[in-house]
Amino acid sequence: MAEYVVELKHVTKRFPGVIAMHDMHIQIKPGEIHGLIGENGAGKSTLIKVLTGVYIPEEGEIYVDGQKVSFANPVQAREAGIACVYQELNIVPMLPVVDNVFMGRNEHKPNGLLDYPRMHKEAHEALTTLGHPEVDTHIECGKLGMGLQQMVEIAKAVSLKAKLLIMDEPTSSLGEQEVKQLMTTVRKLKSQGIAILFVSHKLEELFELCDRVTVMRDGEHIDTRDIADWNNDSLIQAMVGRSLENQFPKEFGKKGECMLECRHLKELGVLKDVSFKAYGGEILAFAGLVGAGRTETMRALFGADPLDGGEVYVKGKKMNFKNPGQAIRAGIAFLTEDRKGQGLVLSLSVKTNIILANMRRFKKGFLLDNGEIERNSQQRIKELRIKTPTAEEVVSQLSGGNQQKVVIGKWINCDADIYIFDEPTRGIDVGAKVEVYNVMNDLVKQGKCVIMVSSELPEVLGMADRVVVMREGEVMAEIDRDSAHFNQEDIMKAAWGGKIA
Amino acid sequence: MNDTKKKAGISDLLWKLGPLMVLALLFIIFTIALPGKFLSIANMMNILKQTSINCLIAAGMLLTLITAGIDLSVGYNAILSTCLIGVMMQNGITNPVLLIVAAIALCTFCGFMNGTLYTRLDLPHPYVSTLGMKFVLWGMALLITNSQTIGFNNKGIDPVLWIGKATLFSFGFPVSFILVIIVYFIFHVFLNHTALGRQIYCVGGNPEAARMSGIRSKDVLTIVYTISGFMCGVAGVVLAGRLNSANTASAANFDTDAIAACIIGGASFRGGKGTIWGSMIGALLIATIRDGLNLFGAGNDIQYIVIGSVIILAVTLDVFRGKAEAKARKMAAVTK
């Protein structure tokens, strides 16, 4: 038996303009629970996709049981014994458990029909090895709880005779009891000699479960140690410890009046209690882990999702918005995180997208004033330096950075006072990032209020005047730029649920 | 760089003019194959007359397709308006304005109901609300007419019939097609030069982005189905004049013909695209094929087979075009 069940050496994965993973190596021993941790965007997902054959790396080698392999597609990775349970379960809720366990493969009778008795038996056996013989394989998967649905997904992997089971944030949607259940199952798999790569955002789980933990940052391997050699502080240090280069052209505005205040926002299952104030002339950043409720807070105050409680005040006036239209008329602009899904109509022109949020501005009587639209879009293209051949170009043809600038142009046309930027620099190159920061600087200097939701700590530290740190739908801390706690370690601590000393 | 751009521009234009070129090609083929029969003013006017009802219904259908929806109730909605005219006439109402307004108002209301059911009950797809509505309207048309055909000849409502029946000028240009041209011009301006028109494309292209930009997507959709209903009413009035009767059996192909016209003209079931002039070309293409095959002496059987093939061919070409574009985009990204 080889020393490592799966080994990666010098693996590099590039995307146009971005190196997602660089010279990565990791060694996973048979029957160990190997933790993997890193900030958002550290390259964990890329690693998972390389291991499961979704991405094909440009450089480097993959070994399974000491044999060099290369996966051309996910099926080959699966056949080599690498299975993955994704954060978003791949379950068909309308189908019975047995069909979900056997999704993508099946057992035939000699006559070519499906051998359901055998499939039921095997599915049941797989669930039994996980410690859940009570699950009826005839029942529709959707009728099971989240924890058991996950068990079905794990059973799928087990019945494939996986040697390595990757679990991507498996506890993120589970309740406390279900997490305990899952941990028992994971230990059971370990005792059967199956290796587990356990990706998690929750430090306490890593300490409870893992034998070794690997830290990734910026697409690179930082450190792998036995769990006994790690502690909370050293893990966080390893995750965030990067030097801050001067990519942040921070300029300061003059702090003005309170533009936006939220009091005790509640949304069942999402937001527990969120209160904050945002002022003109400053950038207020929202930090926290993915799923901490930052985007949800913004959507709720913007009227995109209904609130279950709490009040929103704009310039001192109480205004709980029922739909985004009302929020826009009250002077709020929301640059959504998901540019393509929520910010742009990709199939339409730059021009149309730029007027999307405020068409009434361009009305002349019944008709749209095409001359004014043309003039306006030329102006936005010029001042935001949008690289596009013409204003008629279809937005899907532009690069990520330029698409983001089109979204910015759209909101500038609304003459908003409050600008919410949700992950404004995700997926755009460094040069375009600086231009986006400069737009924020300009807005702040005009006395506008800027709120920036960002999962990138350097960006938060580089641009924010004040930071609100959220965790699980609550505000954990509020830190001023001139406070001693305005640093990566303390913000991370708050985001992971720790106390700031 | 500039060269390839220019080339792309030309080929793009050719693709866009595709249906028009096919129409032209068809004209040439029929002219040569049917000497003296096809290319005559009388036959041209006949094609226009044949196509006007489809054009009117297709205009409304186009809006629903742009929003990634569909309106399956159009055929019986139009029939219902014709039947309403017939029933009102039987009850002694012959004021043309009143008849036309009542017919169009009823259809508009039915369209409004289509949109309301779809958006306010959160039905999964307008297929559901409009398919259901199709049967409801069919039943209502049968109900109010007692399943009888109502003849309009010499019943004192000639001004209503005039729209669908009359021709102008010495060469007999159909009034109904003049109506089509007016309606299409209004639709062109509406879709391209009004806020609501642009919003229809936005809602079709990305409903979530539209909503997050403050556009009330549900209201826009309701209006779209209301307009589709309105156009059915107009088509129903024209139909009264064309058939000279109200007959519940005459709606057979209205829905599929309208969808076919829009799809051939460049609209997509996925929404976000389609132009009004494309739909007109699509409708003319269908009418021309029917007309030409008729002159050849081919019956409904052959016509259906040909038209079905043309629909599949048109959409296949569109898919190819999309793939070619995507490939070109990828190549551009790599070389960059």
- Which residues of B fall within a CB distance of 8 Å from A343? 209, 212
The whole-number pLDDT of residue A430 equals 65
- Confidence (pLDDT) at A443: 92
Gap between the Cα atoms of A141 and A155, Å rounded: 13
From CA B30, how far away is CA B38, in angstroms rounded? 6
Do B199 and B210 contact (CB within 8 A), yes or no?
yes
B14: contact with A, CB 8 A cutoff: no
Give the residue from chain A lying closest to B204, CA to CA.
A345
Place of tokens 């200097």: A445
3-state secondary structure chain B: CHHHHHHHHHHHHHHHCHHHHHHHHHHHHHHHHCCCCCCCHHHHHHHHHHHHHHHHHHHHHHHHHHCCCCCCCHHHHHHHHHHHHHHHHHCCCCCHHHHHHHHHHHHHHHHHHHHHHHHHCCCCCHHHHHHHHHHHHHHHHHHHHCCCCEECCCCCCHHHHHHHHCEECCCCEEHHHHHHHHHHHHHHHHHHHCHHHHHHHHHHHCHHHHHHCCCCHHHHHHHHHHHHHHHHHHHHHHHHHHHCEECHHHHCCHHHHHHHHHHHCCCCCCCCCCCHHHHHHHHHHHHHHHHHHHHHCCCHHHHHHHHHHHHHHHHHHHHHHHHHHHHHHHHHHHHC
Nearest-CA distance A8 → chain B (Å): 27
Distance from CA of A175 to the nearest CA of B (A): 31
**A389: nearest CA partner in chain B:** B5
Nearest residue in chain B measured CA to CA from A407:
B213
CB contact under 8 A, B212 and A366: no
Contacts of B202 in chain A (CB under 8 A): 345, 348, 352, 356
| A356 touching B (Cβ < 8 Å) | yes
Q: Is A367 on the interface with B (CB under 8 A)?
A: yes
A198 in contact with B at a CB cutoff of 8 Å? no
Chain B, residues 271-290, CB within 8 A of chain A, namely 272-273
A-B contacts at Cβ under 8 angstroms? 80
Closest to A25 in 3D by CA, of A219, A200, A253: A219
Nearest CA in chain B to A352: B198
What is the C-alpha to C-alpha distance for residues A266 and A469, in angstroms, rounded to an integer?
17
Alpha-carbon distance of A294 to A271, in angstroms, equals: 9
| C-alpha triplet B270, B273, B276: angle, nearest 5° | 130
- On chain B, the residues whose CB falls within 8 A of the CB of A323 are 211, 214, 216
pLDDT category, B167, cuts 50, 70, 90? confident
SS3 A495: helix
pLDDT for the residue numbered A274? 93
What does the alpha-carbon distance between residue A6 and residue A52 come to, in Å, rounded to a whole number?
A: 12
User: Chain A within 8 Å of B5 (Cβ-Cβ)?
Assistant: yes
pLDDT at A469: 93
pLDDT tens digit sequence for A336-368: 888 888 889 888 899 999 998 888 888 888 888
Helix, strand, or coil (residue A292): coil
Residue A304 has pLDDT above 80, yes or no: yes
A370 contact B CB<8A? yes
Positive or negative, the CA dihedral A446, A451, A453, A456 is positive
B212: chain A residues, CB-CB within 8 Å:
302, 304, 324, 334, 336, 342-343
Residue showing tokens 């060694």:
A27
Task: Find, in chain B, the residue whose alpha carbon is nearest to that of A371.
Answer: B193
Q: For residue B208, what is the nearest residue in chain A, using CA coordinates?
A: A342
What ipTM, to 2 d.p.? 0.72
The angle formed by the CA atoms of residues A454, A436 and A388, to the nearest 5 degrees, is 130
* B130/B115 Cα distance (integer angstroms): 9
Strands (E), A187-293: 195-199, 212-217, 220-226, 258-267, 271-279, 283-288
Cβ B49 vs Cβ B110: under 8 Å: no
The answer to whether the Cβ–Cβ distance between B205 and A16 falls below 8 Å is no
Torsional sign, CA B29, B34, B35, B39:
negative
pLDDT the model gives residue A385:
85
Please compute the mean of the pLDDT values over residues A61-79 and round it to a whole number.
Answer: 89
Residues A323-330 have a mean pLDDT of: 92
Domains and CATH numbers, chain A: 6-240 (3.40.50.300), 258-495 (3.40.50.300)
The answer to which of A74-88, A479-493, B6-20, B304-318 has the lowest mean pLDDT is B6-20
Q: Decide if A323 touches B, using CB distance below 8 A.
A: yes
pLDDT digits (tens, 9 = 90+) for A165-197: 999 888 877 777 788 888 999 999 999 899 999
Question: Is the per-residue pLDDT at B335 higher than 50?
Answer: no
Question: Cβ B211–A355 below 8 Å, yes or no?
Answer: no
Cα–Cα distance for residue pair A419/A298, rounded to 1 Å: 11
State how far residue A404 is from chain B, nearest Cα, in angstroms. 13
- B145 vs B143: CA distance, rounded Å: 6
Show which of residues 190-219 on chain B sit within 8 Å of chain A, judged by CB atoms. 193-195, 198-199, 201-202, 205-206, 208-216
Tell me if A152 sits within 8 A of A130, measured CB to CB.
Answer: no
Write down how long chain B is: 336
Q: Any residues with CB less than 8 A from the CB of A26 and at least 6 apart, and which?
A: A6, A7, A8, A34, A36, A47, A214, A221, A224
Most B CBs within 10 Å, among A356, A388, A421, to test the B interface: A356
**Percent of chain A at pLDDT above 90?**
40
Residue A475 tokens read as: 């505000």
- Proportion of chain A above pLDDT 70, given as a percent: 96
Q: What is the rounded average pLDDT of the residues B12-38?
A: 80
pLDDT tens-digit readout, A86-127: 877 788 888 889 888 887 777 788 887 888 888 899 999 989
What mean pLDDT do residues B89-95 have? 87
Instruction: Search chain B and give the residue with CA nearest A354.
Output: B213
pTM across the whole model = 0.75
- Among the partner-chain residues B199, B205, B206, the one whose CB lies closest to the CB of A359 is B199
* Residue labelled with tokens 């061919």: B313
Number of CB atoms found within 10 A of residue A171's CB:
22
Q: CB-side exposure of A287: number of CA atoms within 13 Å?
A: 33
> What is the model's pLDDT at position A429?
66
Mark yes or no for CB contact B273/A328 under 8 Å: no
Confidence tier at B330 by pLDDT (50, 70, 90): low
CA pair distance A70, A68, nearest whole angstrom: 7
CA distance A427 to A15: 11
pLDDT tens-place string over residues A212-226: 999 998 888 999 999
Contact B195 A362 (CB under 8 A): yes
- Closest Cβ opposite residue B193 in set A324, A327, A368: A368
| Residue of A322, A345, A374 to mutate, interface with B, max B Cβ within 10 Å | A345
Does residue A340 contact residue A398 with C-beta atoms inside 8 Å?
Answer: no
Q: Confidence band (pLDDT; 50, 70, 90) for B322? A: confident
CA distance A419 to A399: 23
* A455 DSSP assignment: S
In A, minimum Cα distance to B2 occurs at A389
Subunit contact B193:A370, Cβ cutoff 8 A: yes
Q: Tell whether A304 lies on the interface with B, counting CB pairs under 8 A.
A: yes
Q: If phi over 0 gives left and psi between -120 and 50 gives alpha, with beta otherwise, what is residue A20? A: alpha
Q: Are A390 and A334 in contact (CB under 8 A)?
A: no
Indicate the pairing of strand A82-85 with strand A164-168: parallel
Interface test with A, best of B192, B212, B330 (most A CBs within 10 A): B212
- Residues of chain A contacting B336 with CB distance shorter than 8 Å: 16
CA–CA separation, A97 and A123 (whole Å): 8
Q: Which residue of A has its CA nearest to B206?
A: A345
List the domains of chain B with CATH numbers.
32-335 (1.10.3470)
Return all residues near A203 (Cβ < 8 A) that are at least 6 apart. Answer: A37, A232, A235, A496
For residue B19, which of B289, B324, B200 has the smallest C-alpha distance?
Answer: B289
Dump pLDDT digits (tens) for A227-282: 999 888 788 788 876 544 557 888 888 888 999 999 999 998 889 999 999 999 99
Contact A362/B at CB under 8 A:
yes
Nearest to A363 among B195, B214, B273 (CB): B195
Q: What radius of gyration, in Å, describes the C-alpha atoms of chain A?
A: 25
Q: What is the rounded CA–CA span in Å between residue B288 and residue B265? A: 14
Edge-to-edge, what's the strand order for the sheet holding A18-28? Answer: A18-28, A6-15, A59-64, A67-69
- Residues in chain B with CB shorter than 8 Å from the CB of A357 are 213-214
User: Do B212 and A304 count as a contact with CB atoms less than 8 A apart?
Assistant: yes
Contact flag B209-A345 (C-beta cutoff 8 Å)? yes
Q: What is the pLDDT of residue A464?
A: 93
Tell me the Cα Rg of chain B: 21
**Terminal Cα-to-Cα distance of chain B (whole angstroms):** 11
- Closest-CA distance of chain B to residue A487, Å: 34
What does chain A come to in residues? 501
Q: How many angstroms separate the CA of residue A249 from the nearest CA in chain B?
A: 28
For testing contact with chain B, the best of A359, A392, A410 (most B CBs within 10 A):
A359
Lowest mean per-residue pLDDT among A154-158, A374-378, B227-231: A154-158
Q: Tokens 């609300």 — which residue?
A: B129
